[in-house]
């Protein structure tokens, strides 16, 4: 029985679990003073992880926090402002692809 616990600890230390990922995101939110979506993007960029690959390790509490950010007026304003800035650049180029993250 004790050997199983040791194996579980080794696996948990080597792999990113939903709880470990949520703690990392919470730390980033607190230290960088950014919202949860930006924290996930920051984490992925810093650790060279594809954003699409983290959808399965987002815990339910973290999903709820992400939904709150997505539904906030401020976030919609920021997205609108960003799109407006992109559109009014010299070349009038909008991003050719947008990323969509689907939560299970």
Residue 92: inside a domain: no
**Chain mean pLDDT for the chain:** 76
* Total domains, the chain: 1
Residue 69: inside a domain: yes
- pLDDT digit string, tens, across residues 55-102: 888 899 998 888 888 787 777 766 666 666 666 654 444 444 445 555
3-state per-residue secondary structure call for 17-72:
CHHHHHHHHHHHHHHHCCCHHHHHHHHHHHCCCCHHHHHHHCCHHHHHHHHHHHHC
Residue 38: inside a domain: yes
Residue 101: inside a domain: no
DSSP conformation class of 89: S
* Helices 60-71 and 73-87: angle between axes, nearest 10 degrees: 60
Residue 18: inside a domain: yes
49 has a pLDDT exceeding 50: yes
Range of the domain at 81: 2-87
Residue 40: inside a domain: yes
């Amino acid at each position: 029985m004790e050997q199983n616990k040791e194996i579980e600890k080794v696996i948990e230390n080597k792999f990113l679990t939903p709880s470990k990922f949520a703690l990392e995101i919470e730390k980033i939110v607190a230290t960088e003073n950014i919202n949860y979506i930006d924290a996930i993007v920051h984490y992925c960029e810093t650790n060279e992880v594809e954003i699409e690959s983290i959808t399965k390790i987002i815990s339910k509490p973290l999903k709820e926090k992400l939904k709150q950010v997505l539904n906030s007026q401020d976030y919609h304003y920021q997205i609108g402002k960003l799109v407006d800035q992109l559109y009014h650049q010299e070349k009038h180029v909008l991003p050719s692809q947008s990323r969509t993250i689907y939560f299970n």
